[in-house]
Structure 1
């Protein structure tokens, strides 16, 4: 059985969506076992499932709590979920709580893979060719060294090759220009480390406007720049869809065109919908750690659980350990 701990209380929408997500997930994953942390009276509906265990947790790490709340709230659903991973009860943990608090709890209580100086957040981004691209770091660290960016590249490369099945993943470094001398000293040094590596298929720098082109399988960046790039892409996609909708609804011809193009528009919207992605992977820990979107509905949270399940089932952590030991 593949075992996951689930933080049911920390998201924007409360425990109800997590209960629904757990029901959706367990019905389609018969080889999984869930340990759901939260107020037992709110999780009672899950008690009828033999492979779901309710772990009572009376406290909550709220979205606006500072990261030091992790130390104070030892009885919170988030900390209890992470501690179950630390104690070896589960193989992975999922939460849609505060990114800072969840990352802090993982840093405090979980071991990092040997050789990993800094863990990072990785997300799958939609691309023009529909194949998607892994980008890391997207917000776990405010700044990174060149050596840390190289570690991120190794982790992203292993994930793309062994989990996504890409024979020779194309790795690029997010920068302000494509030339090798572009960027600050850290990015120039990172470029040299990546270029000299005989383990990576490094294709050079990539500018922000090209990251969704489909020409890259892994894009490496420091957490500050990566978070801005991620949220800019999300914002542009949302604004563009809103503009298209308003434009089409402004006239009879537009409404007719919208009706005819309805399926194509929904397909486009789905590509940029965080609910279909599930969540971000916290790479570099000895357990599978998945951060779901704070405003996840049941579908999005269930997809985040499936992401953690796939990481455990395909032994992503084991493959990371092997790959990083050879760097």
Structure 2
């Protein structure tokens, strides 16, 4: 049986560097990843963004009108602009013309459009945004969720995040036996607020979750955990802080490397090491975050994404499609009745 190529709808108008950087990343992805790209946006702007418009013949352009601006309230903007690029992108997945969506535009609008157009998976109360962080252990990453979709959570939401994170870690990140932790202010089960204490007990009692206990802030990048669960408020603060740390590390390296001929020689010697450092700490290398829990695959990229980040976001979407993440989450909820939380 010949595997079908994943079809990825890319919101060409979303992001600070749209459409040029988005289109460049999409073209590279189609050439190198074995995917089919549907560029969604204003055809004239898309064609004008490349030096050789004929090169776009390998991609399909799907017309859209306008985008949701960063200052706009997502729901009202989506209703006012039914043909906005993010709406059209989600509709392509709903109509099964595409397998996934990638957008670097308004993250709130992307999440709202996914919920409105695609709906939630059965058994999931709230979707979560899962972001991959580097750790101090080489070749090991940690999945954090939620990093922004749900500011206020109930215990059962965190339990559902843990189930989805387990599946994502196992089948997309390739962790055979993922270790799941709950972000808290201490290791003890009774530490934290009512949300943390109740969620801890739900995860202990759920046989689907390979729960190993609470994770403190110092544990996030330690490599001791493969998945860390938290509410979207804490997770978003953590995400922005981690991005800032990565940028700070790269800037410090630039400033502290010796100058002059000696410095150039030293930099050449360390070239491969410096490249690996960048790959481990630069958020662009991870591409974006997967919105888990909606009935479709959506990757939300950083608003400042340039072509390498878009390429990696498309790679992430392809991996989620190829590893049937949606089917696995849905099958899990059909197979195992989620225990109800008292007073959640």
Partner residue, 2:43 = 40
| Contact 1:247-1:254 within 8 A present in 2 as well | no
| Contact 2:289-2:301 within 8 A present in 1 as well | yes
Partner residue, 2:88 = 80
Alpha-carbon shift at residue 241 of structure 1 (Å): 3.2
Q: Distance in 2 between matches of 1:117 and 1:163?
A: 22
Partner secondary structure for residue 61 of structure 1:
coil
Q: Distance in 1 between matches of 2:265 and 2:185?
A: 42
Alpha-carbon spacing, 1:26–1:258, altered in 2? closer, same or farther (3 Å): closer
Task: After TM superposition, list the pairs within 5 Å mapping 1:160-175 onto structure 2.
Answer: 160-175=169-184
Partner residue, 2:325 = 316
1:65 pairs with one of 60, 69, 72: 72
Pairing 1:290–2:294 present: no
Partner secondary structure for residue 10 of structure 2:
strand
| Contact 1:3-1:91 within 8 A present in 2 as well | yes
Pairing 1:119–2:127 present: yes
Pairing 1:104–2:112 present: yes
Give CA-to-partner distance per residue, 1:228-271, whole Å, 9 cap, x none: 11111221232233234333448998887656544323321220
Alpha-carbon shift at residue 49 of structure 1 (Å): 5.6
Alpha-carbon shift at residue 48 of structure 1 (Å): 5.6
Structure 1's unaligned 5+ residue stretches are none
Alpha-carbon spacing, 1:89–1:254, altered in 2? closer, same or farther (3 Å): closer
Q: Distance in 2 between matches of 1:101 and 1:230?
A: 19
Pairing 1:17–2:21 present: yes
Partner residue, 2:62 = 55
TM-score scaled by length of structure 1: 0.93
Task: After TM superposition, list the pairs within 5 Å mapping 1:107-186 onto structure 2.
Answer: 107-130=115-138, 131-186=140-195
| Contact 2:27-2:59 within 8 A present in 1 as well | no
Pairing 1:2–2:6 present: yes
TM-score scaled by length of structure 2: 0.88
Alpha-carbon spacing, 1:128–1:8, altered in 2? closer, same or farther (3 Å): same
Runs of 4+ aligned residues of structure 1 deviating over 6 Å after TM superposition are 250-256
Alpha-carbon spacing, 1:46–1:321, altered in 2? closer, same or farther (3 Å): farther
Partner secondary structure for residue 190 of structure 1:
helix
Q: Distance in 2 between matches of 1:270 and 1:165?
A: 19
| Contact 2:66-2:85 within 8 A present in 1 as well | yes
Alpha-carbon spacing, 1:50–1:319, altered in 2? closer, same or farther (3 Å): farther
Which moves more between the two structures, 64-73 or 182-191? 64-73
Alpha-carbon shift at residue 322 of structure 1 (Å): 0.9
Partner secondary structure for residue 133 of structure 1:
strand
Q: Distance in 2 between matches of 1:96 and 1:233?
A: 19
| Contact 2:297-2:326 within 8 A present in 1 as well | yes
Q: Distance in 2 between matches of 1:104 and 1:85?
A: 15
Q: Distance in 2 between matches of 1:259 and 1:309?
A: 34
Give CA-to-partner distance per residue, 1:50-69, whole Å, 9 cap, x none: 66321111212122322121
Q: Distance in 2 between matches of 1:50 and 1:317?
A: 31
Which moves more between the two structures, 60-69 or 129-138? 60-69
Alpha-carbon spacing, 1:244–1:34, altered in 2? closer, same or farther (3 Å): closer
Pairing 1:206–2:209 present: no
Structure 2's unaligned 5+ residue stretches are 339-344
Partner residue, 1:224 = 233
Alpha-carbon shift at residue 303 of structure 1 (Å): 1.2
Q: Distance in 1 between matches of 2:305 and 2:157?
A: 30
Partner secondary structure for residue 317 of structure 1:
helix
